[in-house]
């Protein structure tokens, strides 16, 4: 039952787990445990291939793609400079740089409309 309360606390604003070092608080104990590692320097997850260590397991899993070459998404490469982009729209915007143009979308959108997960121009 306690594990189910964490997500509900997002709605109530309750944050009962507080860091004793910096007083930052969390909705779940596991998030506090991960946060403590920023103070202690503990990095319990190590890459078996290169030994690089990580605070969070998902950071290790993401890092391991360096060794396997796995790409969970298709990269779009610029044929002129070999720069690669996660989104085709970003590549199209980038190509305008080679033509001496600026992306019309970059200045037309407000900062709220441009999401960091999907940049329009790079």
pLDDT in tens, 39-87: 999 999 999 999 999 999 999 998 998 898 777 667 888 888 878 888 8
The answer to whether residue 23 is domain-embedded is yes
Look up the domain containing 98 and give its range: 76-105
We report the CATH number of the domain holding residue 37 as: 3.30.160.60
120 located within any domain: no
Distances (CA, A) of 88 to 11, 72, 83: 36, 15, 12
Number of domains in the chain: 2
The pLDDT assigned to 121 comes to: 56
Would residue 119 count as lying in a domain?
A: no
Phi, psi (deg, nearest 5) at residue 77 = -100, 140
Query: Which of 73, 71, 108, 77 is CA-nearest to residue 90?
Result: 77
Tell me, yes or no, whether 56 and 98 share the same domain. no
- For residue 32, pLDDT beyond 80: yes
Vertex 5: Cα angle to 2 and 9 (nearest 5)? 145
- List of residues 6+ apart from 91 with CB closer than 8 A: 76, 77, 78, 85
Q: Is residue 45 one of the residues assigned to a domain?
A: yes
Task: Give CA–CA dist 47/108, Å, rounded.
Answer: 43
pLDDT value of residue 35: 94
Looking at the structure, do residues 55 and 80 belong to the same domain, yes or no?
no
């Amino acid at each position: 039952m306690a594990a189910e309360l964490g997500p509900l606390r997002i709605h109530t604003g309750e944050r009962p787990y507080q860091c004793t070092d910096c007083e930052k608080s969390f909705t779940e104990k596991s998030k506090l445990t991960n946060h403590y590692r920023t103070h202690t320097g503990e990095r319990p997850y190590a890459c078996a291939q290169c030994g690089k260590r990580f605070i969070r397991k998902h950071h290790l899993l993401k890092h391991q793609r360096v060794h396997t070459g796995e790409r969970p998404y298709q990269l779009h490469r610029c044929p002129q400079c070999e720069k690669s982009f996660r989104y085709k729209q970003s590549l199209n915007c980038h190509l305008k740089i080679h033509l001496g143009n600026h992306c019309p979308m970059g200045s037309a959108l407000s900062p709220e409309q441009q999401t960091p997960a999907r940049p329009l121009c790079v």
